[in-house]
Amino acid sequence: MITSHNGPQPADFTDVRATNLAVVLRFVRENAPCSRADIAASTGLNKATVSSLVADLIDRRLLRETGLTEHRVGRPATMLVLDGSPYAAIGIEVNVDYITAVAVDLKGEELLNWRRSFPGGTSSAGQAVVAMAALARRVVSRMTKEARQVLGLTVAVPGLVDVNGTVRVAPNLGWRDADLAGDLTKALRDPGFPVLVDNDANLAALAEHRFGPHRNAANLVYVTGEVGVGAGIVMDGRLRRGGQGYSGEIGHIELDPAGPTCRCGRRGCLEAVAGMGAILARTAPDASPSELELEIDEVVRRARNGERDILALLEDVGRHLGRGMAAVANMLNPEVVILGGYYVPLAPWLVACAEEEMYGRVLAPGGGGCRLEVSTLGYGAAALGAAARVLDSVDSGRLPAQR
Amino acid sequence: MITSHNGPQPADFTDVRATNLAVVLRFVRENAPCSRADIAASTGLNKATVSSLVADLIDRRLLRETGLTEHRVGRPATMLVLDGSPYAAIGIEVNVDYITAVAVDLKGEELLNWRRSFPGGTSSAGQAVVAMAALARRVVSRMTKEARQVLGLTVAVPGLVDVNGTVRVAPNLGWRDADLAGDLTKALRDPGFPVLVDNDANLAALAEHRFGPHRNAANLVYVTGEVGVGAGIVMDGRLRRGGQGYSGEIGHIELDPAGPTCRCGRRGCLEAVAGMGAILARTAPDASPSELELEIDEVVRRARNGERDILALLEDVGRHLGRGMAAVANMLNPEVVILGGYYVPLAPWLVACAEEEMYGRVLAPGGGGCRLEVSTLGYGAAALGAAARVLDSVDSGRLPAQR
DNA sequence: TTTAGTTAGTCTTATGGCCAAACAAATGAC
DNA sequence: GTCATTTGTTTGGCCATAAGACTAACTAAA
């Protein structure tokens, strides 16, 4: 079935074509190498139709034929794989002290991963645009040198990004109402590819949904673990942004009216009791945001050494985290909640108690089938997801123009 | 654009046709009476295509031609409206002390609304199936007498319903693992129409999304206000049920670890501090569930009289409710949260403080555009939504067979 | 009363994309 | 060497939409 997902929009055969091109493309990504006959058998499309679709995709260099099968009865099949070489998708992540750029090919293979220090915490959005544009131009020129066409660029920002790509508030960066998508497009002077901006948690969720070990889950939630805590929500196979794009702001769910004061001014917010700030407040109260990574390393070291107070602290954080995740699981019933950011190195001491707390609070039998897992994509999840956002457009059938 | 919303499913012409039939049908529902030319101009479909689609819809008696326009320059247009007469969709709601059945036509006009007392709280699921089947048969025979074809039947159940229509847990009814959809289909002996089962909050949300004053909102949350508190979530224009169908279980989000004990055994759950139980515990601690309606009437009367302790109680409940809704708004960023059930009569004393509390806690600027509103659909929202669930199938292009 | 202008809806033809089935190609099994 | 098997292409048919000509039915104004 076809579902026009945003209201009454009519369909015609170009939509059928786009849908089916996307079906074939996704099938090959998930089952490569495979033959045309495999595709026809599994998708239900007619053999002739598959041949025509594959021809289109080969023309546009999205697919490539590899060798033939051997030693089987019948005519050998020509195998198809994604063609990694001619395209690139760029993802950029801005943060408090660095900008990361990654480029991936259609398969999701990382082509480059550049990290460049940048005083995000003390720079204006305008300065960030200049820095990002410079970095983006270098990435684009590298990709061009490799004879790759850039399909698009997406920027991940830790903050509230509305549906138009305007950064409404980015507390850690000190930005307000910055039209990042527009300004960056201007700074790149007619780049010839779309420039998008989205929230970092949303994009990390997209990365997990596309590349992570739970990529089959149509309903998943990714939780960032920095000083701030945010979530990206995938339901029914797509990122759900809410009415204005601000979904997933779980950091300020109030868990305890008698809890510690949060930087938002209220008490007992999830991020005040289970964010990195809650840990630093008790281990390194004077640390600046840029020292976060070092300090967490130190916490990990002390936990490994079995220091009692640290273990107790982490258990406490884990329990609060579990309570927050129970709220998520009760409200959204995802198949999996994936913990990212600094929750990853801290996971050995957090997850067990968080899970226990969560399962104890989820109403649905068996916790609604919701598991609590740890991200395997590392710190670059948001940047990777930003690139994945670009590939999503291709996946939904908007193929790059034929050359 | 067309989006195949559940994974790689290929499309063909029948899908295009179905999509466009649905587009026309929805357009007429929202803009009746209107002409073929209006449809073509607004949807972008070709005039000839619209004529063909409309002919199909008239053949199947989903549309009807009414008179002509007059006193306008040019050839008068033949106006089209939904044809209410030949079909019916049935919704049934089971509850602690009654079963409600409603039938609506394609326009959503209520054809009948029967309420029949039933000791749901002390009956088994099997007994309920017998009672529902009896009621359903009477409704069907009435509809048949009116020469209407029944398009389907949906049952709304206050409890956890999985994606297959099995009732996993219904605490107020005391049911567990009841295959209601299957059993009811059997009891109706090949009814010739689909029988579905879903959660009452989900279906009430669907009713609001289709018939309510905020029917244009693609992102809305409906909150039930009974002893239990649950939510139905519409995001991006569709009901989102989560991985197993248990989304929206907000009643046991923990708002205060030091709060009163909830019937689930834990402390400070939303429904323990802002559900009807929280009110009854302080006004009529010995009331049985079936007296709920009377007791709430009494609370309303006393609030109208300005009784201090009642007003204070309601303000307290309102504040807790607002905190819970802040969690909802932060996580989902809906355009509107609609309060239903007994929140409706209590709204004059609840909403102002709930709203204040909510806006104070939502991180997004301007509360993310999220409003807190009161349902206007009355107690029958779930049953109405159950019927709406049937109409949704028609709307997505699965038209009833031609006669 | 004629004529021009306007809008509604149908008819004809073309195009694009899918499917079914026949067919060609390339292999293994016997 | 022949047959069975599997792959992928070709052919023809079908279906739905688009474009534009055409018919229909009205108002306005000369």
- The answer to whether residues B1 and A18 touch, using CB atoms and an 8 Å cutoff, is yes
- Within 10 Å of residue B58's Cβ, how many Cβ atoms? 14
Confirm or reject contact between B228 and chain A (CB < 8 A).
Answer: no
Would B368 be classed as within a structural domain? yes
- Residue–nucleotide distance: B48 CA to C10 C1' (Å): 7
Asked if the model's pLDDT at residue A5 lies above 60, the reply is no
Question: Across the interface, do B1 and A9 touch by the CB < 8 Å criterion?
Answer: yes
Q: Which domain holds residue B29?
A: 13-82
List CB contacts of B124: < 8 A, sequence separation 6 or more: B175
Label residue A80 exposed, middle or buried (CB < 10 Å: 0-12, 13-18, 19+): buried
Q: What is the DSSP string of B55-78?
A: HHHHHTTSEEEEEE--SSSSSPPE
Residues 311-350 of A with CB under 7 A from strand C: none
- Checking if the pLDDT of A333 tops 60, the result is yes
Of A70, A71, A109, whose CA–CA distance to A87 is shortest? A109
In-domain check, residue B144 = yes
In a domain, A400, yes or no: no
CATH number at residue B33: 1.10.10.10
Dist. CA B379–CA B43, nearest whole Å? 36
pLDDT of the residue at A231: 97
Query: For the residues B32-45, what does the mean pLDDT come to?
Result: 90
Check whether residue B143 and residue B64 sit in a common domain: no
Question: What average pLDDT does the segment A51-68 reach?
Answer: 91
Interface list for A 139-168 with B (CB within 8 A): 160, 168
Chain B residues 13-72 within 7 Å (CB) of strand C: 13, 35-38, 47-48, 51, 72
Q: Which residues are registered as beta bridge partners of A267?
A: A261
- The residue whose two tokens read 């779930």 is B382
In the predicted model, what is the mean pLDDT of residues B63-87? 84
Q: Are residues A242 and A282 in the same domain?
A: yes
For residues A337 and A330, give the distance between their C-alpha atoms in angstroms, rounded to a whole number.
Answer: 12
Residue B134 distance to chain A (closest CA, Å): 31
Same domain, B75 and B91: no
The predicted model gives B271-297 an average pLDDT of 87
Whether the ω angle into residue B191 lies within 30 degrees of 0, i.e. cis, is no
Does B67 contact strand D, using a CB cutoff of 7 Å? no
Cβ–Cβ contacts within 10 Å for residue B320, how many? Answer: 26
Residue B211 lies in a domain: no
Residue B401 lies in a domain: no
Picking from B169, B209, B235, B266 by the largest number of A CB atoms within 10 A of its own CB, the best residue to mutate is B235
Q: Which amino acid is it at A386?
A: A
Give residue-wise pLDDT tens across range A306-325: 999 999 999 999 999 999 99
Determine the average pLDDT of the residues in A81-109: 92
Helix %, strand %, coil % for chain B, to 5?
45, 20, 35
Sheet strand arrangement including A231-235: A238-239, A231-235, A220-223, A336-339, A371-374
* Residues B183, B200 within the same domain: yes
Provide the pLDDT for residue B89: 96
> How far apart are the C-alpha atoms of B4 and B361, rounded to whole Å?
37
Give the domain-ending residue among B27, B48, B82. B82
Give me the helix-helix angle, B47-59 and B13-31, nearest 10°.
Answer: 80
A396–B7: do the CB atoms touch at under 8 Å? no
- B149 phi and psi, to 5 degrees? -90, 130
What CA–CA distance (Å, rounded) separates B278 from B285?
A: 9
Neighbours of A107 (CB within 10 A): 14
**Domain-located, residue A91:** yes
Confidence of residue A402 (pLDDT cuts 50, 70, 90): low
pLDDT attached to residue B7: 46
Residues A124 and A66 in one domain: no
Residue A398's pLDDT band (boundaries 50, 70, 90)? confident
Confidence of residue B75 (pLDDT cuts 50, 70, 90): confident
Asked whether residue A52's C-beta has any atom of DNA/RNA strand C within 7 A, the reply is yes
Residue of A nearest to B17 (CA): A11
Nearest to A168 among B2, B218, B365 (CB): B365
B399 falls in which pLDDT band (50, 70, 90)? confident
Does B370 contact A243 at a Cβ distance shorter than 8 Å? yes
Q: Which of B332, B358, B392, B394 is best to mutate for the A interface (most A CBs within 10 A)?
A: B332
From the Cβ of A162, is strand D under 7 Å away? Answer: no
Minimal Cβ distance to B242: which of A26, A235, A256? A235
Residue B67 main-chain phi, psi, to 5 deg: -70, -170
Residue A103 contacts residue A110 (beta carbons within 8 Å) = yes
3-state secondary structure of A197: strand
Count the alpha carbons within 13 Å of A396 in the hemisphere toward its beta carbon: 17
Last residue of a domain, one of A82, A104, A126: A82
Residues B188 and B326 in one domain: no
Q: What is the mean pLDDT of chain B?
A: 91
Give the end of a domain, one of A41, A65, A82.
A82
> Is A235 an 8 Å CB contact of chain B?
yes
Q: How far is the CA of B400 from the C1' of D22 (A)?
A: 35
pLDDT for B263 beyond 90: no
Q: What is the mean pLDDT of residues B186-192?
A: 92
User: Cα–Cα distance between B267 and B274 in angstroms, integer?
Assistant: 13
Pairing outcome for strands B336-339 and B220-223 = parallel
Tell me: pLDDT of A6 over 60.
no
In whole angstroms, C16 C1' to A181 CA is: 36
B402: confidence class by pLDDT, cuts 50, 70, 90? low
**pLDDT of B77 higher than 90:** no
- Put simply, the answer to whether A335 touches B2 (Cβ < 8 Å) is no
Question: Inter-chain contact A246–B333, Cβ cutoff 8 Å?
Answer: yes
Strands B167-170, A231-235: pairing kind: unpaired
* Beta strands across the sheet bearing A167-170: A160-161, A167-170, A175-178
Of A94, A101, A100, A102, the C-alpha closest to A120 is A94
Q: Do A246 and B363 touch (CB under 8 A)?
A: yes
- Maximum distance among all Cα pairs of chain A, rounded to whole angstroms: 73
Long-range contact set of residues A122-131: C-beta below 8 Å, sequence gap at least 24: A122/A174, A123/A173, A124/A175, A125/A167, A125/A173, A125/A175, A125/A178, A125/A180, A125/A183, A126/A178, A126/A183, A128/A94, A128/A99, A128/A173, A128/A175, A128/A180, A129/A180, A129/A183, A129/A184, A129/A187, A130/A187, A131/A99
Verify that B327 and B248 share a domain, yes or no: yes
pLDDT of residue A4 exceeding 50, the answer is: no
For position B350, which CATH number holds? 3.30.420.40
Within an 8 Å CB–CB cutoff, is residue A243 touching chain B?
Answer: yes
Residue A249: partners with Cβ closer than 8 Å, 6 or more residues away: A160, A230, A231, B330, B331, B333, B362, B363, B364
As given in the structure block, the two tokens for residue B137 are 């048969």
- What per-residue confidence (pLDDT) applies to A122? 82
| Neighbour-count burial of B364, counting CB atoms closer than 10 A to its CB (0-12 exposed, 13-18 middle, 19+ buried) | buried
> What integer pLDDT is reported at residue A147 of this predicted model?
94
Beta pairing partners, A91: A102, A154
Instruction: Name the residue with the least CA to C1' distance from nucleotide D7.
Output: A75
| 3-state helix vs strand vs coil in chain A, percent to 5 | 45, 20, 35
Predicted local distance difference test score (pLDDT) of residue B1: 32
- pLDDT tens figures, A225-252: 988 899 999 999 999 999 999 999 999 9
- According to the model, what pLDDT value does residue A2 have? 39
| Residues 50 through 109 of chain B touching chain A, CB cutoff 8 Å | none
Asked whether residue A161 falls in the same domain as residue A70, the answer is: no
The CA–C1' separation of A34 and D17, in angstroms, is: 34
Evaluate whether residue B102 is within a structural domain.
yes
> Quick one: pLDDT at residue A309?
93
% pLDDT > 90, chain B: 69
pLDDT for B4: 33
How many domains are contained in chain B?
3
For residue A293, the model assigns a pLDDT of 85
Domain membership of residue A401 (yes or no) is no
In B220-335, the DSSP E strands lie at 220-223, 231-235, 238-239
Q: Residue A3 — very low, low, confident or very high, per pLDDT cuts 50/70/90?
A: very low
pLDDT, residue A357, reads 94
Would you call A363 and B246 a contact, using CB atoms and an 8 Å cutoff?
yes
- What is the CA A4 to C1' D7 distance in angstroms? 35
CA distance B377 to B156: 15
Q: Please state, in angstroms and rounded to a whole number, the distance separating the CA atoms of residues B132 and B101.
A: 9
Q: Which residues make beta-bridge pairs with A110?
A: A104
State the nearest Cα–Cα gap between A32 and chain B, in angstroms.
15
Please tell me if residue B323 touches chain A, with a CB cutoff of 8 Å.
yes
Q: Which amino acid, one-letter code, is at B161?
A: V
Q: Which chain A residues in 332-391 lie under 8 Å from chain B, judged by CB atoms?
A: 332-335, 360-365, 368-370
A12-21, B167-176, B242-251, B286-295: which range is least confident on average? Answer: B286-295
How many angstroms separate the CA of residue A265 from the nearest CA in chain B?
Answer: 10
Residue partners of A53: CB distance under 8 A and separation at least 6: A17, A20, A21, A24, A45
Confidence band of A1 (pLDDT split at 50, 70, 90):
very low
What is the mean pLDDT of the segment spanning A114-128?
87
Do B132 and B273 have their domain in common? no
Query: What tokens does A263 get?
Result: 């930087």
Give the burial string for B264-279 (b: 16+ CB within 10 Å, else e).
Answer: eebbbbbbbbbbbbbb
Residue range B343-367: mean pLDDT, rounded: 94
B159 and B225 co-located in one domain: no
Looking at the structure, tell me whether residues B42 and B150 fall in a common domain: no
Closest by Cβ to A364, choosing from B4, B246, B323: B246
Q: Which of the four pLDDT bands, split at 50, 70 and 90, describes residue A395? A: confident
Percent of chain B exceeding pLDDT 70 equals 97
CA-based nearest residue to A4, from B338, B198, B44: B44
Query: What is the nearest CA distance from B254 to chain A, expressed in angstroms?
Result: 7
Residues A102 and A145 in one domain: yes
Question: CA A333 to CA B232: how far, in whole Å?
Answer: 12
Residue A22 is encoded by which pair of tokens? 């996307």
Comparing alpha-carbon positions, the chain A residue that sits nearest to B218 is A243
pLDDT at res. A96: 85
Distance (Å, whole) CA B372 – CA B384: 21
CB A383 within 8 A of CB A93: yes
User: Closest Cα to residue B112, out of B141, B133, B132?
Assistant: B141
- State how far residue A52 is from chain B, nearest Cα, in angstroms: 14
Residues in chain A: 403
Residue B71's pLDDT band (boundaries 50, 70, 90)?
Answer: low
A265 has pLDDT over 90: no
Whether residue B391 is predicted with pLDDT greater than 90 in this model: the reply is: yes
